[in-house]
């Protein structure tokens, strides 16, 4: 493991060390795109450095391609299939894959290929919405706790501890088992309520680690308001670990949603979803294992993509972990 403070050799590093990037960032250098990244002598920001590094990683490219494809499927599943996932014909119950239905038919005689495609939408939507919600709620609370410290920190952190004490799946079960009618939004709400404290802890730690940096003192000396210091100087430098964890968690939220649907308290049975389909395939596992395998494979591949993406982004943003 290379010493983090020493200049790192190799094409992805450019010879400049990390604090320079952070300082450059803090002074408002644009962080988007690879443009200018190869200019000699000009220090790259943390983000463009990470991007420069990521473009060369096969794992990142593979995961991004898979996720891009999944998002397209989630938005427009009709592009890939002409059949209706809710049209079922019992006469073709549990038929194995054939030319007309590449994944075969399930117990009710519905086209599994169409159901797998249409099932992407709720899973991806839950993953993205819960991640966004948890970053917004958890990130805001964590940033305030880390920035102000003292009593504000104590109160907010103890508050987060309470939510943190309840495991995601158990809390989700309690929360959702009492809702009379469940839909996508109740599942999202339950997971955000239980998922935000983890991001609060990470954001708080990251904010504390840059709160006393020289560029913050400099901004304060120049008369910047607390609000400006927090939003313009501290947040851009504290966001990296939060983004990494949020990406990895996106996959985990998808698993929890599928698990809840599998237990019968996630998405309503009328929604075409992977968790629900896996659950109903259980009864014919002995005679027709393909009914279970296809939605299960789609679910696992989706989760794997997000975890790989998160791992790659973490490696790029934090060279110390290499």
Partner 1 sequence: MGRYVLRRLLQMIPVFIGATLLIFLMVRALPGDPVAGLFGERAADPAVVAQLREEYGLDEPLWKQYLLYMQGILTLDFGQTFSGREVTDVLAQAFPVTVRLALVAFAFEIVIGIAVGLVAGLRRGTVFDGTVLAATLVVISIPIFVIGFVMQFIVGIKLGILSPTVSAQAPWKDLLLPGVVLGSLSVAYVMRLTRTAVAENLRADYVRTATAKGLPRQRVVTVHLLRNSLIPVVTFLGYDLGALMGGAIVTERIFNVPGVGFTIVRAIGLRESVTVVSFVTILVIVYLLANLIVDLLYAVLDPRIRYA
Nearer to partner 1, 15 or 289 (CB): 289
CA dihedral (218, 223, 227, 232) positive or negative: negative
Looking at beta carbons only, is 271 or 305 nearer to partner 1?
Answer: 305
77 or 172, CB closer to partner 1? Answer: 172
- Report, in Å, the least distance between residue 199 CB and partner 1: 18
- For the bound state, the minimum distance from the C-beta of residue 11 to partner 1, rounded and expressed in Å, comes to 21
Q: Does the footprint of partner 1 cover residue 66 (CB under 8 A)?
A: no
* Minimum CB distance to partner 1, residue 198 (Å): 14
* Cα–Cα distance for residue pair 193/164, rounded to 1 Å: 10
Give the binding range for partner 1 (CB under 8 A) out of 20-28, 88-96, 125-133, 284-292.
Answer: 284-292
Least distance from C-beta 118 to partner 1, angstroms?
19
Residues in contact with partner 1, shown as a per-residue x/- string from 96 to 135 under the rule CB under 8 A: ----------------------------------------
Residue 23's CB is within 10 A of a number of other CB atoms, namely: 17
Query: Could you give the residue ranges of the DSSP H alpha helices within the chain?
Result: 18-26, 46-54, 58-75, 112-148, 150-164, 168-177, 184-211, 214-221, 226-228, 235-262, 274-281, 290-317
Task: Give the C-alpha separation, 253 to 182, whole Å.
Answer: 17
**63 and 305 in contact (C-beta within 8 Å)?**
yes
Alpha-carbon dihedral angle through residues 206, 241, 320, 37, given to the nearest 10 degrees: -110
CA atoms of 166 and 43, how far apart (whole Å): 44
Between 14 and 171, name the residue whose CB sits nearer to partner 1.
171
Contact between 264 and partner 1 by CB under 8 A: the answer reads: yes
Determine the interface stretch with partner 1 among 34-42, 68-76, 84-92, 262-270 (rule: CB under 8 A). Answer: 262-270
246 in contact with partner 1 (CB under 8 A) = no
Binds partner 1 (CB under 8 A): choice among 269, 289, 320, 322: 289
- Please give the torsion angle defined by the CA atoms of residues 9, 15, 21 and 23, in that order, rounded to the nearest 10 degrees: 130
Task: Find out whether 109 and 89 touch, Cβ atoms under 8 Å.
Answer: yes
Contact indicator for 206, 143 with CB cutoff of 8 Å: no
Distance of CA 295 to the CA centre of its chain: 20
Return the range that interacts with partner 1 (CB under 8 A); candidates 79-87, 100-108, 133-141, 283-291. 283-291
Q: Which residues pair with 111 in a beta bridge?
A: 105
Supply the minimum distance, in Å, between the C-beta of residue 170 and partner 1.
5
Q: Segment 134-193, which members bind partner 1 (CB under 8 A)?
A: 158-159, 161-163, 165-167, 169-171, 173-175, 177-180
Q: Which is nearer to partner 1, 142 or 251 (CB)?
A: 251
Which region among 23-31, 102-110, 134-142, 300-308 touches partner 1 (by CB under 8 A)?
Answer: 300-308
Residue 111, classed as helix, strand or coil, is: strand
Name the minimum Å distance from CB 182 to partner 1. Answer: 10
Distance (Å, rounded) from C-alpha 53 to C-alpha 44? 12
Our CB check for partner 1 shows the closer of 24 and 278 to be 278
Burial of 92 (0-12, 13-18, 19+ CB in 10 A): middle
Query: In the complex, which residues of this chain contact partner 1 (CB under 8 A)?
Result: 1, 158-159, 161-163, 165-167, 169-171, 173-175, 177-180, 251, 255, 258-259, 262-265, 278, 282, 285-286, 289, 292, 296, 299-301, 303-304, 307-308, 311
């Amino acid at each position: 493991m290379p010493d983090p403070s020493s200049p790192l050799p190799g094409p992805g590093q450019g010879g400049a060390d990390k604090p320079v990037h952070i300082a450059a960032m803090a002074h408002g250098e644009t962080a988007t795109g690879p443009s200018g990244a190869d200019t000699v002598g000009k220090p790259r920001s943390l983000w463009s450095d990470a991007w420069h590094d990521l473009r060369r990683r096969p794992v990142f490219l593979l995961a991004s391609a898979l996720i891009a494809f999944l998002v397209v499927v989630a938005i427009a599943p009709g592009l890939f299939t002409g059949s209706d996932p809710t049209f079922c014909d019992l006469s073709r119950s549990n038929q194995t894959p054939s030319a007309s239905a590449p994944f075969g038919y399930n117990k009710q005689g519905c086209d599994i290929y169409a159901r797998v495609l249409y099932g992407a939408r709720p899973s991806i939507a839950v993953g993205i919405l819960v991640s966004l919600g948890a970053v917004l709620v958890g990130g805001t609370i964590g940033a305030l706790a880390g920035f102000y410290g003292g009593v504000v920190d104590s109160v907010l952190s103890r508050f987060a501890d309470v939510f943190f004490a309840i495991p995601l799946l158990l809390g989700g079960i309690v929360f959702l088992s009492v809702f009379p009618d469940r839909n996508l939004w109740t599942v999202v709400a339950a997971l955000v309520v239980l998922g935000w404290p983890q991001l609060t802890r990470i954001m708080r730690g990251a904010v504390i680690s840059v709160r006393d940096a020289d560029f913050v003192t400099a901004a304060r000396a120049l008369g910047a308001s607390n609000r400006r210091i927090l939003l313009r100087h501290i947040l851009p430098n504290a966001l990296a670990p939060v983004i990494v964890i949020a990406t990895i968690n996106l996959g985990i939220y998808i698993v929890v949603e599928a698990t809840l649907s599998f237990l019968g308290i996630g998405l309503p049975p009328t929604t075409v979803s992977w968790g629900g389909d896996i659950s109903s395939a259980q009864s014919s596992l002995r005679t027709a294992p393909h009914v279970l395998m296809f939605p299960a494979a789609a679910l696992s591949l989706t989760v794997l993509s997000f975890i790989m993406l998160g791992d790659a982004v973490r490696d790029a943003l934090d060279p110390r972990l290499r």
